[in-house]
Amino acid sequence: MRALMIEDDPQIVDSVGWAFRMRWPDMEFLSTDSGNQGVTMAREQRPDIIILDLGLPDISGFDALKGIRKFSDTPIIVLTARKEEFDIVKGLEAGADDYLVKPFRQMELLSRIKALLRRTSTHSPESALSAGNIRLSPATGILHIGEREISLTRTEEIIMSKLMQHQGDVVTYATLAEALWNDYYPDCVAALRVYIRQLRQKTEEDINNPKIILNKHGVGYILFTPGSRSATASG
């Protein structure tokens, strides 16, 4: 397997490269500090995973991400020093599959990469799920809400599947984190909040007044559909 890191901080590159050599020696590690070169390497080297910094010296990491997505669906984890949810959501909307905020632990990065590779290579069950007027086809990643047809990413599909399987009940942060990353790590609640925001942008009429995906503060999320049991929740 082959990993490509597009990052202009040599200390981070050295640190991540060392972690791969020590913990994942079968993974070939490539790197570049140029966004343009990174896009070229993604096309020519065909890596299995791409680790992309958003702050690059030549072009924006967002532009590099969009450039790669024109020809590749390789899983991409973005690294960012920007903790604002807007920037993280922007990266995910541009085609990233996961993200880490700097500074980060090397072992956490490797764990997230393994989980991402596992879930992108695992085929979803063929059977469709339904909850009230909501239907999900895991085989295609298409969500139907009434007559609306919505395309979900693999991450969004996993979250929605869990919520639909337990409609009307709270699905805890730990349950969702285990489904996505096989682990409950310190920043997982913040990460889940970003993904829930993405789902709400696709499913809710008013993202600031959600009616479908509700939050049980400090516990998790609830999928509310016509006929599901009510629960004390908030947006």
Give the per-residue pLDDT at 126: 56
pLDDT tops 80 at residue 132: yes
pLDDT tops 80 at residue 219: yes
For the segment 38-95, what is each residue's pLDDT rounded down to a tens digit?
999 999 999 999 999 988 999 999 999 999 999 998 999 998 887 666 777 777 777 8
Give the per-residue pLDDT at 118: 81
Structure tokens at 173: 């942060």
- Helices 188-203 and 85-93: angle between axes, nearest 10 degrees: 60
CA distance 161 to 135: 10
The full set of domains in the chain, from first to last, is 2-121 (3.40.50.2300), 129-223 (1.10.10.10)
Give the per-residue pLDDT at 104: 87
Give the per-residue pLDDT at 121: 65
Give the per-residue pLDDT at 50: 97
Q: Using 50, 70 and 90 to split pLDDT, how confident is the model at 214?
A: very high
Give the per-residue pLDDT at 140: 79
Q: Using 50, 70 and 90 to split pLDDT, how confident is the model at 211?
A: very high
> Across all residues in the chain, what is the average pLDDT?
86
For the segment 154-165, what is each residue's pLDDT rounded down to a tens digit?
888 889 999 999
For the segment 135-193, what is each residue's pLDDT rounded down to a tens digit?
998 777 899 998 899 988 888 888 999 999 999 999 999 999 888 887 777 677 888 88
10 to 3, 6, 17, 37, 77: CA distances (angstroms) = 16, 11, 10, 16, 18
Please tell me which residue, 226 or 115, carries the higher pLDDT value: 115
One-letter identity of residue 63: D
Its pTM stands at: 0.75
Distance of CA 4 to the CA centre of its chain: 18
